[in-house]
Structure 1
Amino acid sequence: MSAVLGALVLLPALSGAALLVAGRGADRVAGPLAVAVTAVGGVVAALVAGTRPRLSVPFLGVVEGGDLRLVVDGLSAVLIVLVAGIALLVTLFAVADLPGNTARARFFGYLLLFVAAMLATVTAATLPTLLLAWEVMGATSYALIGYHWEEPGKLVAGTRAFVTTRAGDLGLYVAAGAALAATGSLVLADLDSADGGWADLAAAGVLVAALGKSAQLPFSAWLSAAMQGPSPVSALLHSATMVAAGGYLLIRMQPLLAATGWAATAAAWAGALTALVLGAVAVAQTDLKQLLAASTAAQIGFVFLAAGVGATAGGTAHLVAHAAVKAGLFVVAGAWLTALGTKQLAGLRGAARRYPGFGAAATVAALALAGVPPLSLWATKDEVLAGVDGTALHIVGLAAAVVSAIYAGRILAVVLARPAGDEAFDEEEPGTRRIPALTTVVAGVLAVFAAGLGVLALPAVAEQLKAVLDVEGEPSPGLGELLLSGALALVALGLTVAVLRARPALTQRLDRSPLASWAGLRRLLSPRPAMAVARTLAVIDDMLIDRTVMGVAVGAGRIAGMAARADENVLDGAVSGVAAATRRTAAGSARIDTGVVDGLVRAMARAFRRAGSAARCPQTGLLHQYYAQAVVGLGFLLVLLLVVR
């Protein structure tokens, strides 16, 4: 079965590479091919999840764990099925949503490479494998976010996302170096056996890499820039793949976090604060995709909280449920953008009523995001919070859960309102006024999963998940905790919808708050800090470096003057004498050349001309003369042979 595991990664990787090489010539077949590849990948993922194979390919043979190794355990089994399923649904959405003049081969080529990288990430068992997959994921995300590079701002958005996540990615290299120094091994499972400071360094590297990839504080603002990408890209990156990768990494490395102590606490607080702060940012957004982006960082914050407190099952369940919910909401946002030409909340008033079937799927996904029982994210948040011991951390996590109901309520207050006119339509692009049937099917399937994963609240299902993940001893929420969180979600959601409908001016006040600009986090990615650093360096350059350089230049000028005088008095005289001697030698050589060498050459030329003339004499063109010449030649050879004998 190891070959099947290899096919899980290689099939999308090779197919994506083939589409990129084929270019525009493969545009017509790119969509169907991508659907076929992801569909087959889903079947392979289910097969691999059930059989749990391993695969190892030699890479760095001199180091333990230097091979490219894929291993499927309980956590990987859950994640590969999730990634493959979401990839198939998003690919179907992309086929329906992308304009006909799009370079589809390039788009689906990068998409398949990205999926392959994520599948390799969740099955990687060694640091070289993880680093390779991690880097490919980052590079292809840059290409996908900046896919429409010719449009203003798109390429810059991709660059910001890439540079920010790339800065965090360096932590993985630090972790690899620490692991190699401490244990001599690059096996991921061996990281927690590092001693003392090496373990701290490895944990810090892993934590920074995860924070960057999952857009946790202080790296959150790259998600805002990433919203410039096509809607299918947002649906994939922010559900089960790139943004989820950091959360997955911390769940995988939870033993390392626990071994250091401080790293687990740092991860928990980073996640809880991101869930609360980015949740507040989401409430203040006027753009639906920006709201969903901020809420993505907030929801993944619960996964970080779970990894920090050791709630592996809760974090995994939340990761899975959030993927279904968020993929569905991004499909909804993208479809409304295509149909109505806007993603501004003001322009989406009554959008769910305009398209009732599609609106029902959107409503279910938004209710699940709010944590309304019995939908999916209701139970998973409580699974996470059940593992929290500290009161302060629990309060922050519970507050973040309430805030999630508020930003979900903001969506529902708009899209379920009475439809307004179409004056706000076509603000960002010309709308088609229709939603393809395939898109409606995709949104419906995701809504079913968003609702159906509420079964994770059932004790039997929760215990089964813990058995799969081999964490049977983890605590579960009690009935009272589930009822309390459900009630808080319903109250917060209901109040939000009621208040926003009764006081529309409150929306404008939120739009003008600092939270609307991502609480100033965007400035971390703006040119201003770079310009401030540049101005400081310019002052240093003027006052220190320039003076040093000018001093060196003045000294060099004086040395050059002294060298010039020495050149005139000494070197020029020597050079002039050598030149005169050279001229006399050249004149003598010229006379010899003309009188002797040229004479010999001319004599040889005359001799060759005479020989040539003599050689041409027998060439008369008369056949009888050629016979005569042949007889003479044969006679000469006969005489020569007789003499020699």
Structure 2
Amino acid sequence: MLWLIPLLPIVTGAVIAAMGDRSRRWLGTVAVMVLGATLCLTLLAAAQGWTATLIWSDAIRLSAELTPLSAAIALMVPTVALAVVFHATQHESPQGIGRLTGLMILFTGGMQLVVVAGDLLTLLIGWELIGACSWALIAHKWRAIENPRSGLYAFVVTRFGDLGLFAAAIALFAGTGSFDYAGIATLSGPLSFIVAYGILLSAASKAGQVPFAPWLFRAMAGPSSVSALLHAATLVAAGAYIIALLHPSLSVVPGWQATTIAIGLTTALAGGVTGVLQNHAKRLLAASTSAQMGFMFVAIGAGYPGVAALHLIVHATFKAPLFLVAGAAGDATGSYRLDRMRLGRIMPLIAGLAVIAAAGLAGLPLTGGGWSKEEIVKAAEHADFWLSIGVMIGGALSAAYATRFVLLAFGRRSEDDRDIAAPGWAETAGIAGLGALTLATGLLWVSPLSDALAAATGFTLPEGSTLGLVLSLICVAVGVASGIYVVRHNPALGRTGAAAAASDWLGLPTLITRGVVLPFDALARAAARFDDDILDAGPRSVAALARRGSMAIAAMDNQVVDKGVRATAAFGDWLARVADRFGEALSDGIPEGTAGITGMLGREARRLQSGLSHHYYAYIVCGIFAVVAILAAGA
């Protein structure tokens, strides 16, 4: 039964995508039904402890199970996806809406397979599925040539990271004879290093960590709903999830925890600076995703994977609505430039929902994002006090770019006479549902509730110092004040000049292009020239060999290869002549002959319809005598 959790959205999503476009109402209803059923199945599975195994061979099997950590993530994924996909059915362009909806549901099913997987082979199947879906969804508006290119860029970068997971699976099977997660803890020596660091490499690429972070900017070519699903509940979340799940087995490998912390903290700080400098609404949010995932990597490296999982869940509740409101603002103004928005007067309800979500991103007190961020600060403090200071600085940057985003996108102009329509209730419903979830996570500040949740899920919450909490809140306040200052004095920050150059991941894409792409391109061109030279030299070398007594090779080539090619060509020519002579007559003769026979039978049948009753009586009497004669002969 556990296989139904991923299979239901995978199969139905594929069917919906193949059916083509349908009405928004039909697609919205089906999406809610499928994802709602997936959520219900996940609840049953978590409550009843379902497991599943599919035996492929004596050595290979696929397994699925729900640990407390994976059960929490498995419940989060369809919950967030339901609101996001419903919004997509009501908001996105009607052209290709059926394919978009089906692929998003399929995407959700692939992520569910990643979550319930109990071994690396099953994980790889889901891992590859969400990678392929992300490419198709980013390139959804394929008529604009830049979108397929962006989808391909994101796919190639994450695929490079996937090599680590393949290497880990191979090493695990070589060392234990199976792909089960339990076997990771039994490895030692080089195989344990390959598994631990291979999984970390793959997780970092999926989660948009340095140096893979720039692919998230290219992924912004997809519709805003795709960005919301990708960043909040599926592909990017998969990276942080897998190392949190496997932390007990991976953390014993020397240097693994320190490397995880270094990757996470570097990304959190670089992503924070990039977010502050960005003038593109969706790219600002994409940079914030990398930074928030970096916080999770820090918590995992510090020894608190449960805290990272809780922040992953809370992050999904506020990041998804932020992308959806950014999409509404960008579609309304025709641009994602923050300095052109300020839609507070035109979209007051959307603006209010944006404030709720942005408060969570900023880590303000009494918000779920603030609670989980403070838990990460505590976890970092357990590892090293200076590490917690680094997380606090990252928190200040989060507060700054969250404040800048909400004030520029949904602040108020003194006078606003633009002819822009606010989103309707159907488009707003999904955002409102996510906003309600964001508000609900604020209850985690109530200690009995958060402690009960941690006990129920098996997570361990760290103890922190009062000094750490005070310093962290001061950093948040400084970040909010800095965001307000930037909006007032330089609202177009990042549009031009050095700030614009730095806003593209501090020049990391340029470094990748010059340090990786161009050298590989030059190497490929050199290989092509070398290949051409060898091919050109080939006939000359064969002739030289023939002159030196190797004529037998050429003769065999003429006798076997050339004759075979000529015979194939002759047979094809003969077959074409036969088809030309008889094929047309046969293809035309069958329908024409059938039509002639049918016409003849019709003409004969009309003769029987004379309209004279005594003729009909005679027919009946003759028929009776014929039946009696047949029966008598049979007797």
Deviations 1:484-531 (A, max 9, x none): 322321222023203430354756577734322222222366599534
CA distance in structure 2 between the aligned counterparts of 1:558 and 1:185, rounded to whole angstroms: 53
After superposition, residues 208-223 of structure 1 pair within 5 angstroms as: 208-223=201-216
Indicate which of 3, 6, 11 corresponds to 2:3. Answer: 6
Indicate which of 421, 425, 429 corresponds to 1:441. Answer: 429
Are 1:89 and 2:83 an aligned pair? yes
Which amino acid is the alignment partner of residue 72 of structure 1? L
CA distance in structure 2 between the aligned counterparts of 1:42 and 1:505, rounded to whole angstroms: 43
For the 8 Å contact 2:270–2:505, the answer to whether it is kept is no
Alignment-derived partner of residue 204 in structure 1 = 197
Alignment-derived partner of residue 75 in structure 1 = 69
Alignment-derived partner of residue 18 in structure 1 = 15
Which amino acid is the alignment partner of residue 272 of structure 2? G
Deviations 1:291-341 (A, max 9, x none): 001110110111111111111221111101110110010010111122232
For the 8 Å contact 1:327–1:446, the answer to whether it is kept is yes
Indicate which of 53, 57, 62 corresponds to 2:58. Answer: 62
Indicate which of 328, 339, 346 corresponds to 2:339. Answer: 346
Q: Which has the larger radius of gyration?
A: 1
The farther-off stretch of 86-95 and 459-468 is: 459-468
Indicate which of 133, 141, 144 corresponds to 2:137. Answer: 144
CA distance in structure 2 between the aligned counterparts of 1:565 and 1:42, rounded to whole angstroms: 73
Alignment-derived partner of residue 282 in structure 1 = 275
Which amino acid is the alignment partner of residue 490 of structure 1? A
Q: What secondary structure, in the 3-state scheme, does the structure 2 residue paired with 1:56 have?
A: strand
Are 1:181 and 2:168 an aligned pair? no
Query: What's the CA shift for 1:74?
Result: 0.6
Alignment-derived partner of residue 368 in structure 1 = 360
In structure 2, the CA distance between the partners of 1:71 and 1:562, relative to structure 1 (3 Å rule), is closer
**Structure 1, unaligned runs of 5 or more:** 426-430, 567-645
Q: What secondary structure, in the 3-state scheme, does the structure 1 residue paired with 2:488 have?
A: helix
For the 8 Å contact 2:20–2:98, the answer to whether it is kept is yes
CA distance in structure 2 between the aligned counterparts of 1:164 and 1:148, rounded to whole angstroms: 20
Alignment-derived partner of residue 301 in structure 2 = 308
Q: What secondary structure, in the 3-state scheme, does the structure 2 residue paired with 1:87 have?
A: helix
What is the percent sequence identity of the aligned residues? 31
**Structure 2, unaligned runs of 5 or more:** 553-635
For the 8 Å contact 1:70–1:124, the answer to whether it is kept is yes
Alignment-derived partner of residue 419 in structure 1 = 413
Indicate which of 469, 481, 485 corresponds to 1:482. Answer: 469
Which amino acid is the alignment partner of residue 241 of structure 1? T
For the 8 Å contact 2:50–2:66, the answer to whether it is kept is yes
CA distance in structure 1 between the aligned counterparts of 2:227 and 2:493, rounded to whole angstroms: 29
Deviations 1:579-613 (A, max 9, x none): xxxxxxxxxxxxxxxxxxxxxxxxxxxxxxxxxxx
Alignment-derived partner of residue 452 in structure 2 = 464
For the 8 Å contact 2:278–2:494, the answer to whether it is kept is no
After superposition, residues 565-584 of structure 1 pair within 5 angstroms as: none
Query: What's the CA shift for 1:450?
Result: 2.0
Indicate which of 126, 129, 134 corresponds to 1:133. Answer: 126
Query: What's the CA shift for 1:546?
Result: 7.0
Indicate which of 42, 45, 49 corresponds to 1:45. Answer: 42
Are 1:401 and 2:398 an aligned pair? no
CA distance in structure 2 between the aligned counterparts of 1:545 and 1:74, rounded to whole angstroms: 55
In structure 2, the CA distance between the partners of 1:484 and 1:530, relative to structure 1 (3 Å rule), is closer
Alignment-derived partner of residue 504 in structure 2 = 517
Deviations 1:21-71 (A, max 9, x none): 333478873332122111222222223232221111222x222xx322111
For the 8 Å contact 1:19–1:26, the answer to whether it is kept is no
Deviations 1:394-449 (A, max 9, x none): 232221111111111211331354327779x8xxxxx9622121232322222232
Are 1:380 and 2:345 an aligned pair? no
Q: What secondary structure, in the 3-state scheme, does the structure 1 residue paired with 2:166 have?
A: helix
For the 8 Å contact 2:214–2:505, the answer to whether it is kept is yes
Which amino acid is the alignment partner of residue 535 of structure 1? A
Alignment-derived partner of residue 33 in structure 2 = 36
For the 8 Å contact 1:353–1:415, the answer to whether it is kept is no
Which amino acid is the alignment partner of residue 62 of structure 1? D
Query: What's the CA shift for 1:565?
Result: 12
For the 8 Å contact 1:182–1:194, the answer to whether it is kept is yes
Q: What secondary structure, in the 3-state scheme, does the structure 2 residue paired with 1:387 have?
A: helix
